Amino acid sequence: MPPPLRLQHIHLPSPSPTNLPPYSLASKLQSLLRRHHLNFKDSPSTNPPPPPFLISFTPLPIYTLGRRQSSPLSPQELTRLSRPLSYQNQTLPVTTSHSPRGGLTTYHGPGQVVLWPVLDIHSKRHKTFTVRCYSRLLENTTIATLEKMFRIRAFTTEDPGVWTRVGGGEEERKIAALGVHLRRHVSGLGTAINVDMPGTDEVLSERENPWRRIVACGIEGKTVTCVREVVAHITAGEGPGLKGTEEVADFWGRELSERIGVDGVDKISGGRVAELLEEAVVRSEEGWEGGEEGYVEEVRRGLGGWVEEALDRGV
């Protein structure tokens, strides 16, 4: 009898506020895991069936350009987006990259948790989903996480993503972005929850607030918020405390596992994460890119001391 199918959660740790995983490294890991699923679909008799995976991480600052970004950025726009970002009294580099999702430009970086499930939405080993139902699965998993962890009432609208209102106001603000890319029904990308980062109007300086540099996802007239901002408006003494990005990722993973019908979650950590990242780079066409090798070495070298530190900080 085969063992129960469980979601494999790979969390890329954040050794410090300035040593975050590069987005490109997470993308290579995603490609490796998707290849496992595609290989099984090609030759099910010679490849073992892979489990569903979840990659979670908080990346170095990056602006990603979706498929609707048909024209290249002007030199002035590129210079503006690429200016360094000030975060917790540290200066962080900012990069830009094209993404296979729909939409225009969005931002990922410190204070946000990115969640990428990698699974075959037509697999008979767990619940199956249409494309629309899979998008709804990501939305509902995010909405349930925000409600159960923080008592935040979130919802969907005609615009992509997950939205909420702050302090009883009427304005709808985006609290989580959504982007899906499917290749032969194997999922890529996912959702990104704003946990503790400036809202659009909280900090006006472009050096400190990355949302001030763009119209998020190309939706004019809409603003962005985060868990911290919404929780701060919950009645004093009755609201939940702010959780770290890794704790949010763990909760989201458990919620996802229940909704796809698997038998819980196994969290992959430590040396195995470093091994997977190295394999992902070696098997990629690009090889090692800026900052990736240093990050993997830090993960491998710091398996003792800074892990406890990071948990104490809630990252």
Catalytic residue positions, numbered? 217
Map 215-227 to HEC letters: CHHHCCCCEECCH
Give counts: helices (H), strands (E), the chain. 8, 14
- Per-residue b/e over 257-289, b at no fewer than 16 CB within 10 Å? bebbebeebebbbeeebbebbbebbeebeeebe
Nearest-angstrom CA–CA distance, 28 and 191: 17
Strands 186-194 and 85-87, bridge-based pairing: unpaired
Q: Which phi-psi region, left, alpha or beta, contains residue 45 (left: φ > 0; alpha: ψ -120 to 50)?
A: alpha
Q: What angle do CA 292, 8, 26 make, to 5 degrees?
A: 20
Q: Find all residues with CB under 8 Å of 222, minimum gap 6, and list them.
A: 159, 172, 173, 174, 216
Phi, psi of 130 (to 5 degrees): -75, 170
Tell me the residue ranges of DSSP E strands in the chain: 7-11, 53-57, 62-65, 85-87, 90-92, 95-98, 105-108, 112-118, 154-155, 162-164, 173-183, 186-194, 223-224, 265-268
Nearest-angstrom CA–CA distance, 219 and 228: 23
* 3-state secondary structure at position 311: helix
